[in-house]
Structures are given as structure tokens and as C-alpha cells.
Amino acid sequence: MSATPRSPLIPLATALAQLLAVLDERRVATETLSTLQADGRVLAQDVVSKLEVPPQDNSSMDGYALRCADIAPGRVLPVSQRIPAGSQGTPLQAGTVARIFTGAPIPPGADAVVMQEDCMEVNGSGPSAPAIQVQTQAQVGQWIRRRGEDVMYGSTVLHSGLRLGPAALGMAASVGLADLQVACKPRVALFSTGDELVMPGTMAPQDMPAGSIYNSNRFFLAALLRRMGCELTDMGIVPDRLDATVQALRDAAQAHDLVLTSGGVSVGEEDHIKPAVQQLGRLDLWQIAIKPGKPFAHGRVGEAHFIGLPGNPVSSFVTFLLLVRPFLLRMQGVQDVALSRLALRADFDWPRPDRRQEFLRVRRNAAGGLDLFPNQSSGVLTSVVWGDGLVDNPPGRSIARGDTVHFIGLSDLMG
């Protein structure tokens, strides 16, 4: 009997494009959220400023507001008013200065601020009349923050699709927004398959049956999903039976946007994800030309999207970052999901490349180069604990010490 020909492997870029294309026509569900609670969420509506920031010229220093033309060597300038932040000064009289504090509005007539450190207090014309001598030259406009220099009225300060961080939240607050329109959290159901899996805490290491392993994938995938802003339902471990897998998928698809599984997407007799998904819906992707992570599946179960990750921990970890992460970002309305790569020096040799696109676990060293973890097996989770990034190595490319390679930082992918 002749062997069934294998389907060609799908390049990563093609797989990602197909994965994202299924979301292009999907309308992103939104909700209104307090700006204080919106960290990490994706903005669903442009933020357009209805004011200028700052709303008026103000001082960027504690000091004295004055006219530059009034400064002369040895000249005593009386202090005619005091302007703290939050108050409004009066027009500055010629030949006088205004004591002013950071953030206070510049009084009409003043054209500069001199820091208090550059001024010397002297006695004025009376016992209670303060005055100063300016000890430095002054330039028109110095230490003045101009009206609208940060934000102009009507300008878009934050764009829809932005994943909000602390600075963006501060910007929203600076233009007066107490609430923001954001994408709803993706609802994700997660489960693992495999009779060999044991949950930590349920069995001591010395009592583990032969061939059993602790379920590490469940823990890092749950953490990654939460970091991605997902509303997670953890469905635990599903036995290696087709009927159990079908039931788990059917239950998971009821109230979720995405069903994510780990394990069971290879081609063994106990790998039931493929037939189970095909029984309930459809399967679109199967084998990806990357290492680690070749076994990968995407499809639909009812109205829910389905993604199946490989069971080997590093494969599962890497494919999540390369494929699931951009999928979840796009699901929330983020358009730019491209990976950021840095050109760095390889301080290692990689003489036997794979025909697939490889993602090597590396760590930056004190000399500015990259060290390679010695064991690149897809089962060695230590490599991603030790490493701080991945080298994106094209198919068939060997690496010699000193070569420039493309580095992807893990911290950029897990924030």
C-alpha cells in the first residue's frame, strides 16, 4: 500500500495572513470603561481633544515672570504680584516682576521667566516690599510652556486600535476623559488534552505513573491569555477520547469567542482534535513550516474560532506568541500586529539549520551579542525561562559567530 502524500507545510507568513483574514469582516464588540480601569485594553474610538493643553501659557519653573527689556546690570525690580498655580495674575506693570510658580499662568505683558536660582532678593522701596536683581541674561520665551504646545484643539491624541498603557491613560485624562470606549475582552476557553497529564498538587512526584507529566502548558497559556486581556474559562484536562474531545469542544464553543487547546493536534492515533473539530465545524490550517511548532490548527466550532496548539511546551509557547497573540490583538481591533525585530550579533554557531523557519531561544549578553541556549528541543521549557528572546532564522540558513541575526524580545510579546 502506498503512503498517503503529505500536504506541504504552510509558511508562517501565509498562515498568519490566513488567520487574520478571518477577522477582517468582524465587527469588534465595545464597552465603556473608566479611564482608571482601562490599562491594557484596546481603544475602540479615536480620542479627539476638545481643549488645548496647556490651556494657556504657563511657567515651567519656580521663579519670576518679567519683561526681558527691563533687565539691566544692578537694576532692582520690585515684585508686583505673586502667582501660584491655579490662580490668575493681572497684567504685569512695566519695570516690575511677578513671583511665579511652576504651572502658573504667565501674566499679560511678561515675555520670559527667570529661575529663582538666578535671582537675588533685595530690599524694596519699603520694609515689606520685596524686590530682586536678575543675575543672568534672559531670552524671550524662556521657561514658558506655550498654550497648546502639547495638544491642539481638535487634534486626535489617541487612535482607535491602540493598546492602552499608562502614558495613553494619562493623555486621555489630560484632555478630560473620565471614560473610554474600548474593545470587549475576548472570551477564551482553554483546555489541554492528554491522558499523560497530571495537575500539580494532585499527585506527588514520587507517585507519578510511568509516562505521566505535569501539565505546564495550562499554566503558561492561562497567564499569557490573561496578559492579553482575555476573559478566560479554564476547562482543565480532557481525556484522550474522541467523544470526550467532541463534548469539550461543543461545551467550550457555547459562550466563547475562541477555543484554545494544547495537545492532540499531531497525527497520532490518540490525537483527536482534528476529527473532533471537523465533526463540529471546519479545520482551516494544519501544518506550519516553523520549528518549534509545526503542528498547529485553526478552524471554527459553531460560532467560535478554534486554535489548536502543539503539546510540546516550547512549541506551544512559541506558536502562541507568533500566531495566537496577533490573532487576539486583531480580535480587539489592533491593526499593527507585526513583530518587532532587532539586528543583533550572534555570539554562537548554528551550522545545521532546518528546512523550516526556526525560532532559536537566546539571551542578550553584556557584550551586546546573543548567547544560544544549548538545548533547543521543543520539550525543554528551561530554554524560554533562561532566554529573553528568539532569533528568527530563515529556512536553511546557517549562522556563524559574528553574523547579524534578527532578534525578537520576549518582553515585547508578553506585556
Residue 113 grid coordinates: 521667566
Residue type, 248: A
Give the pTM. 0.84
Cα gap 412→388, rounded to integer Å: 10
Answer for the pair 176, 51: CB distance below 8 angstroms, yes or no: yes
Answer for the pair 381, 216: CB distance below 8 angstroms, yes or no: yes
Residue 83 backbone phi and psi in degrees, to 5: -125, 95
Residues 227 and 297 in one domain: yes
Question: Cβ contacts of residue 154 below 8 Å, gap of 6+?
Answer: 48, 49, 50
CATH number of the domain enclosing 49: 3.90.105.10
> Residue 197 has what pLDDT?
80
Residue 162 backbone phi and psi in degrees, to 5: -75, 130
Q: Any idea what the Cα angle at residue 100 is, between residues 97 and 106, rounded to 5°? A: 80
Asked if residue 3 is part of any domain, the answer here is no
> Residue 129 has what pLDDT?
67
Asked if residue 228 is part of any domain, the answer here is yes
Residues 382 and 327 in one domain: no
CATH number of the domain enclosing 313: 3.40.980.10
Residues 116 and 178 in one domain: no
Structural domain ending residue among the three candidates 126, 145, 164:
145
The DSSP secondary-structure symbol of 185 reads P
Asked if residue 84 is part of any domain, the answer here is yes
CB neighbourhood size of 2 (10 A): 4
CATH number of the domain enclosing 396: 2.40.340.10
Residue matched to cell numbers 487574520: 20
Residues 76 and 136 in one domain: yes
Cα gap 360→388, rounded to integer Å: 11
Look up the domain containing 208 and give its range. 12-29+184-331
> Residue 203 has what pLDDT?
85
Answer for the pair 277, 249: CB distance below 8 angstroms, yes or no: yes
Number of residues that this document lists for the chain: 415
C-alpha distances (whole Å) from 75 to each of 71, 96, 99, 109, 185 are 7, 11, 17, 19, 65
C-alpha distances (whole Å) from 169 to each of 36, 54, 174, 206, 298 are 7, 17, 9, 50, 35
Residues 173 and 235 in one domain: no
Beta-strand relationship, 369-372 and 357-364: antiparallel
Residue 8 grid coordinates: 506541504
Residues 270 and 350 in one domain: no
> Residue 326 has what pLDDT?
96
> Residue 128 has what pLDDT?
58
Residues 49 and 70 in one domain: no
Beta strands (DSSP E) in 95-146 are 97-100, 112-115, 119-123, 130-134, 144-145
Residue 334 backbone phi and psi in degrees, to 5: -75, 125
Residues 117 and 205 in one domain: no
Asked if residue 45 is part of any domain, the answer here is yes
| 3-state SS, residue 2 | coil
> Residue 25 has what pLDDT?
67
Residues 365 and 355 in one domain: yes
Residues 69 and 122 in one domain: yes
C-alpha distances (whole Å) from 367 to each of 228, 344, 363, 383, 387 are 33, 11, 11, 20, 16
- Chunked mean pLDDT (size 10), the chain, 415 residues: 64 94 84 96 96 96 97 94 94 96 97 96 71 94 96 96 96 97 96 81 85 86 94 89 91 94 64 86 88 91 92 94 96 92 98 96 98 96 97 97 98 83
Asked if residue 43 is part of any domain, the answer here is yes
Residue 405, strand partner residues: 344
Residues 190 and 327 in one domain: yes
Cα gap 286→284, rounded to integer Å: 7
Residues 198 and 313 in one domain: yes
Asked if residue 323 is part of any domain, the answer here is yes
Rg, the chain, Cα only: 31
For helices 273-280 and 242-252, give the axis angle rounded to 10 degrees: 50
Cα gap 235→252, rounded to integer Å: 8
How many independent structural domains does the chain possess? 4
> Residue 270 has what pLDDT?
52
Cα gap 362→357, rounded to integer Å: 16
Cα gap 136→116, rounded to integer Å: 11
Answer for the pair 42, 162: CB distance below 8 angstroms, yes or no: yes
Asked if residue 225 is part of any domain, the answer here is yes
Asked if residue 337 is part of any domain, the answer here is no
